[in-house]
Chain A
Amino acid sequence: MIPTATSKIDTKALAPNRISKLTIENVSRRGFLQGMFSAGAVVLCARLVPRPLWAEGILAEGGPTAAIDASAFRPSLWVGIQTDGVVYIVAHRSEMGNGVRTSLPRILADELDADWARVHVVQGDGDERYGSQDTDGSHSVREFFDALREAGATARLMLVRAAAQQWGVPESQCVADPVHVVSDRNSTRKLGYGELASAAAKLPVPKKEEVKLKSPADWRYIGKPAKGLDAPDLCAGKPMFGMDVRLEGMLYAAVARPPVLGGKVKSLDDKAALQVLGVKRTIPIDPFTASPAAQPLGGVAVIADNTWSAFKGRNKLQIAWENGSHGVYNSTQFKKELQETARQPGKLVHSVGDVDAEFAKGGKIVEAEYFAPHLAHASMEPPVAVADVQGEKVTVWLPTQDPQGVQEQVAKALGTKKEDVTCHVTLLGGGFGRKSLPDYAVEAAVLSKKTGKPVKVVWSREDDIKFDYFHSVAAMYMKASLDEAGKPKAWLQRSVFPPIGSTFNESAVYGGDGEMSMGWNPLPFDLPNFRAENGKATAHVRIGWLRSVANIYHAFAVQSFANELAYAANRDPFDYLLALLGPPRILDSAAHAQPGIAEKYPYDIGRLRHVAELVADKSGWGKRKLGKGSGMGIAVHRSFLTYVATVVEAEVDSSGAVRIPQVHTVVDAGIVVNPEMVRQQFEGAAVFGSSIARTGEITATGGAIDQSNFSDYPVARMNDAPVHTDIHIVESAAPPAGVGEPGVPPFVPALCNAIFAATGKRVRELPLSRNGFA
């Protein structure tokens, strides 16, 4: 799979389904998949035309087929059946532990009635004709579920037709049964898919109306647990990751980047570096212009014949930096500024009723401030990319969540065309949003162009942590007035954080629609008077997407505050949460920014109540007697269209050491393709959440990041991660929703609420290590 040597907008996570039109074509004899298929194979392409293209009428006349030159034509999703019966299915999205290389092909294989053991999954290169390949926002299954089913069912019908013709019997007499074979209902005759491939290749593609999708009761793979396709190879240490790519004659590079965003090299002395055995030369990399976006940060690259020499040489560079305006960034001071901003009225996000009028009436008022610091992604595989520039043509191999973004950014940096950049997607050793932005690919491309050789840029862990696109620091202010029964009559909330938009436009100081929709508006609570605001904040580091993004700090504030109100009202936190959720109902879609989504995915309070009730039941909420220093905490949250409730059990000893013996999470993600993967995602989310809660904190002094490695940016290990995490998946016929991210947001407040139950100490500032807990 991999060679061994020899402007983004942050609304995307909740963007509407980007596909509006699916066309399936028989491309068996187009010859564009040279080398993949032998003669006689049937190859179908399901092309997903992105909504903007279609909506703008570019392809309207005569349909997409007429508009796209057949010679340039490549499919979006394709399935090919060889005459030997091997079925090839492309996975066009990135695998980073999210399980897409298993779950997406299984959707198609199900409708095809293919034998999973005979399916080969092929990783798609970057190509805009695939439709969206940007593997983020937990939408891979949601966006492609229908298309993959239709593609599989179409191929199945063609195989059935081929068999019917061969036998001279009516199509209705033939059935794809039991698997990978078409059977004659009236005899014992059978023809394998491989035997039918050549005949099917000659058939026209059936009309959409003729294609029958299976009834969910007949699904053989969808909804059934499956192990990871790549698990055996991963456990054998096979070369599959970007870090494992090796090309003949490849050079290795390590880059010394400006410690402060926007910094420049004032002076360089590379004499000692050039003395290092294996070091070949140093090459300056230009700093970014305008906003950082996906451009390199600049600095000086050390080129060597192995990674170690490049690292060692880099350490010997003597560089004086000019820091620029972000040298003012000090986290302690910045925190005070964010908190002060949150105490003042901000920009209106949404308002219901009149909170000010209600507050003026007096009564029981509760106020609280919450704070959450920057986080780094720290995926196990640091950023790495190999680029090979040959004249106008560029080939890049890398772990990326966004191969089309790689093509764009590399082309832009080298002044070539996007089509001249081939982007091969390797497995990702974790991504968590970091690998959505390909600055590291651009570094490799720039250096390959300058050296005339393939170059592998390897980021050290220190590079990864210091030069991340950080999860934003955030301050939240909350205020509620309670009635006699303790229920809020008015609820005001303000959130202040440097927005992701600032990475693409330095003047951006307010959160984008995406950030505000993430756990901030709407709230799922039954509130007669509600106002959400957003205060402005200037970024001094690159801000990016981190697994569940703004949901992390918003859920922390909202679900902690709900818990505080429960205690203020002297109510059980679970009962109180249900009362806050209010009666089952669909939230008014006009009230929140989810264009195109609400019709298919209405915000259903009934489903949120259901997961809350189930998690209380599963965890034995209110029924189990806990020892001294132990407590349970609950939180509910809907993100990426999935409803999640989590109960965390915490034990806190007299020294403040926190142990997490048990987590219960209930998930309603609609139709689930692979429950095994969903369990993995939510088990992992609890561990990821525990890293955030316990020790997750990135700070800056004089604009430079203080942390550098797992020594000062600790993450959860086996002995401090949750011991047991039980996942319960709600059976649902609702359309599939996200699973990669939604487990993270409720974990942190559920843990903090558990700690309050155990100790009476309220955590309003993350991480726990700032509160005397360990």
Chain B
Amino acid sequence: MIHLKVNGVERAFEGDPDMPLLWYLRDILGLTGTKFGCGMALCGACTVLQNGTAVRSCSKRMSTLAGAEITTIEEISVHGPHAVQAAWVHVNVPQCGYCQPGQIMQAISLLKTKPAATDGDIDDVMSGNICRCGTYQRIRAAIHEAAKEMA
């Protein structure tokens, strides 16, 4: 039995300890905002926060998560749009939108550690997140905008 907190709620997991967090969130808890993209921590679509820091949920096995506090995109918007989400909408970042929850979680994590992230900081951190529609320049702009809003 693995005990962890997901979006502030205590959870107990009894399944296959090899199961990645991603599939626990999506298939067991029904939190489908966290997306499946590659299963190998290559694309960032599955990004969630573990104790406040961005991690790839597709590569975090449940066996490693005892006591962890997980935050997903669903929790971020529970009290209305987060500044990062608002900036995303304002800059009109999404095209298909599939990768954007992961991008947003990564950006939230980035701005926690670097509230005044430079282009270089953004490129370094956000390059782990793939967008096939090619929204990168808008993502960069939205992060700058959110940073201003949050300052």
Residues of chain A touching chain B, judged by Cβ–Cβ distance below 8 Å, are: 4-5, 95-99, 227-228, 230-232, 234-241, 243-244, 246, 252, 276-278, 306-309, 311-312, 378-382, 427-432, 458, 460-462, 676, 680-681, 683-688, 691, 709-711, 715-725
**Minimal beta-carbon separation of B15 from chain A (angstroms):** 7
Let me know if A307 and B32 touch, CB within 8 A.
no
Let me know if B89 and A232 touch, CB within 8 A.
yes
**Minimal beta-carbon separation of B46 from chain A (angstroms):** 11
Question: Contacts of A227 on B, CB cut-off 8 Å?
Answer: 89, 92
Question: Contacts of B133 on A, CB cut-off 8 Å?
Answer: 97, 380, 430, 680, 684, 687
Let me know if B98 and A246 touch, CB within 8 A.
no
Let me know if B33 and A719 touch, CB within 8 A.
no
User: Which 7 pairs across A and B sit closest by C-beta, in order of nearness?
Assistant: A237-B33, A687-B134, A429-B98, A234-B97, A97-B95, A97-B96, A237-B73
Question: Contacts of A239 on B, CB cut-off 8 Å?
Answer: 32-33
Having A309-B16, A429-B96, A718-B140, one finds 13 other A-B pairs with CB under 8 Å, namely A97-B95, A231-B92, A231-B93, A236-B81, A277-B15, A380-B43, A381-B96, A429-B97, A430-B96, A461-B40, A680-B95, A687-B136, A717-B129
Residue-by-residue, is B7-44 near A (CB-CB < 8 Å gives 1, otherwise 0)?
Answer: 00000000110111001001110101111111110110
User: B138 contacts the other chain (Cβ, under 8 Å)?
Assistant: yes
**Minimal beta-carbon separation of A226 from chain B (angstroms):** 9
Let me know if A428 and B96 touch, CB within 8 A.
yes
**Known: A237-B73, A378-B132. Contact between A683 and B97, CB under 8 A?**
no
Question: Contacts of A428 on B, CB cut-off 8 Å?
Answer: 96
Let me know if B23 and A308 touch, CB within 8 A.
yes
Let me know if A430 and B98 touch, CB within 8 A.
yes
Name 23 A/B residue pairs within 8 A (Cβ), A-sorted: A4-B32, A97-B95, A99-B95, A234-B97, A235-B85, A235-B93, A236-B33, A237-B32, A241-B98, A243-B36, A307-B26, A308-B16, A309-B19, A380-B35, A429-B35, A432-B132, A458-B36, A687-B133, A709-B40, A717-B128, A718-B127, A718-B129, A724-B137
User: B51 contacts the other chain (Cβ, under 8 Å)?
Assistant: no
Let me know if B85 and A236 touch, CB within 8 A.
yes
Bound form: Cα–Cα A309–B16 in Å: 8
- Of residues 83 through 138 on chain B, the ones whose CB sits less than 8 Å from some CB of chain A are 85, 88-89, 92-101, 104, 122-124, 126-138
User: B64 contacts the other chain (Cβ, under 8 Å)?
Assistant: no
**Minimal beta-carbon separation of A398 from chain B (angstroms):** 14
Let me know if B139 and A718 touch, CB within 8 A.
yes
**Known: A235-B85, A380-B43, A380-B45. Contact between A228 and B94, CB under 8 A?**
yes
Closest to B92 in A: A227
Let me know if B28 and A306 touch, CB within 8 A.
yes
Closest to A238 in B: B33
Bound form: Cα–Cα A381–B97 in Å: 10
Let me know if B104 and A680 touch, CB within 8 A.
no
**Known: A234-B97, A241-B98. Contact between A684 and B89, CB under 8 A?**
no
Closest to A305 in B: B27
Bound form: Cα–Cα A718–B107 in Å: 13
Closest to A230 in B: B97
User: B72 contacts the other chain (Cβ, under 8 Å)?
Assistant: yes
**Minimal beta-carbon separation of B136 from chain A (angstroms):** 4
Interface range on chain B (Cβ under 8 Å from partner) = 35 or more
Question: Contacts of A460 on B, CB cut-off 8 Å?
Answer: 39
**Minimal beta-carbon separation of A61 from chain B (angstroms):** 44
Question: Contacts of B76 on A, CB cut-off 8 Å?
Answer: 236-237
**Minimal beta-carbon separation of A679 from chain B (angstroms):** 9
Closest to B101 in A: A237
Bound form: Cα–Cα A99–B133 in Å: 12
Let me know if B40 and A711 touch, CB within 8 A.
yes
Let me know if B32 and A244 touch, CB within 8 A.
yes
**Known: A380-B45, A461-B39. Contact between A688 and B122, CB under 8 A?**
no
Let me know if A308 and B19 touch, CB within 8 A.
yes
Bound form: Cα–Cα A239–B34 in Å: 10
Contact residues of A: prevailing secondary structure: loop
Question: Contacts of A429 on B, CB cut-off 8 Å?
Answer: 35, 96-99
Interface-central residue, A235, A378, A432, by most chain B CB under 10 Å: A235
Question: Contacts of A681 on B, CB cut-off 8 Å?
Answer: 95
Question: Contacts of B149 on A, CB cut-off 8 Å?
Answer: none
Contact of A252 among B27, B124, B135 (CB under 8 A): B27
**Known: A96-B96, A235-B94. Contact between A380 and B132, CB under 8 A?**
yes
Bound form: Cα–Cα A277–B62 in Å: 14
**Known: A4-B32, A461-B39, A684-B133. Contact between A236 and B73, CB under 8 A?**
yes
**Minimal beta-carbon separation of A292 from chain B (angstroms):** 24
Question: Contacts of B39 on A, CB cut-off 8 Å?
Answer: 311, 460-462, 709
Closest to B84 in A: A235
Contact of A718 among B32, B81, B122 (CB under 8 A): B122
Let me know if A231 and B132 touch, CB within 8 A.
no
Question: Contacts of B95 on A, CB cut-off 8 Å?
Answer: 97-99, 228, 680-681, 684
Let me know if B34 and A718 touch, CB within 8 A.
no
Let me know if A237 and B34 touch, CB within 8 A.
yes
**Minimal beta-carbon separation of B6 from chain A (angstroms):** 14
Let me know if B130 and A380 touch, CB within 8 A.
yes
Question: Contacts of B20 on A, CB cut-off 8 Å?
Answer: 308
**Minimal beta-carbon separation of A34 from chain B (angstroms):** 29
Closest to A236 in B: B77
Let me know if B94 and A719 touch, CB within 8 A.
no
Contact of A430 among B15, B77, B88, B132 (CB under 8 A): B132
Question: Contacts of A680 on B, CB cut-off 8 Å?
Answer: 92, 95, 133, 135, 138
Let me know if B36 and A382 touch, CB within 8 A.
yes
**Minimal beta-carbon separation of A1 from chain B (angstroms):** 13
Let me know if B126 and A718 touch, CB within 8 A.
yes
Let me know if B130 and A715 touch, CB within 8 A.
yes
**Known: A235-B89, A306-B28. Contact between A710 and B42, CB under 8 A?**
yes
Contact of B137 among A4, A243, A311, A723 (CB under 8 A): A723
**Minimal beta-carbon separation of A97 from chain B (angstroms):** 3
- Of residues 36 through 71 on chain B, the ones whose CB sits less than 8 Å from some CB of chain A are 36-40, 42-43, 45
**Minimal beta-carbon separation of B77 from chain A (angstroms):** 4
Contact of B38 among A235, A709, A717, A720 (CB under 8 A): A709
Let me know if B23 and A307 touch, CB within 8 A.
yes
Let me know if B97 and A718 touch, CB within 8 A.
no
**Known: A239-B32, A719-B123. Contact between A711 and B42, CB under 8 A?**
yes
**Known: A234-B100, A380-B99, A680-B135. Contact between A308 and B94, CB under 8 A?**
no
Question: Contacts of A686 on B, CB cut-off 8 Å?
Answer: 134
Closest to A98 in B: B95
Bound form: Cα–Cα A228–B43 in Å: 24
**Minimal beta-carbon separation of B27 from chain A (angstroms):** 4
**Minimal beta-carbon separation of A233 from chain B (angstroms):** 8
Let me know if B33 and A688 touch, CB within 8 A.
no
**Known: A243-B36, A278-B15. Contact between A684 and B73, CB under 8 A?**
no
Interface-central residue, B39, B72, B76, B97, by most chain A CB under 10 Å: B97
Interface-central residue, B27, B88, B131, by most chain A CB under 10 Å: B27
Question: Contacts of A685 on B, CB cut-off 8 Å?
Answer: 134
**Minimal beta-carbon separation of A140 from chain B (angstroms):** 15
Question: Contacts of A687 on B, CB cut-off 8 Å?
Answer: 131, 133-134, 136
Bound form: Cα–Cα A256–B137 in Å: 38
**Minimal beta-carbon separation of B52 from chain A (angstroms):** 18
Let me know if B98 and A231 touch, CB within 8 A.
no
Let me know if B136 and A721 touch, CB within 8 A.
yes
**Minimal beta-carbon separation of B78 from chain A (angstroms):** 9
Let me know if A97 and B97 touch, CB within 8 A.
yes
Closest to A95 in B: B96
Let me know if B134 and A683 touch, CB within 8 A.
yes
**Minimal beta-carbon separation of A459 from chain B (angstroms):** 10
Closest to B72 in A: A237
Question: Contacts of A230 on B, CB cut-off 8 Å?
Answer: 94, 97
Question: Contacts of A234 on B, CB cut-off 8 Å?
Answer: 94, 97, 100-101
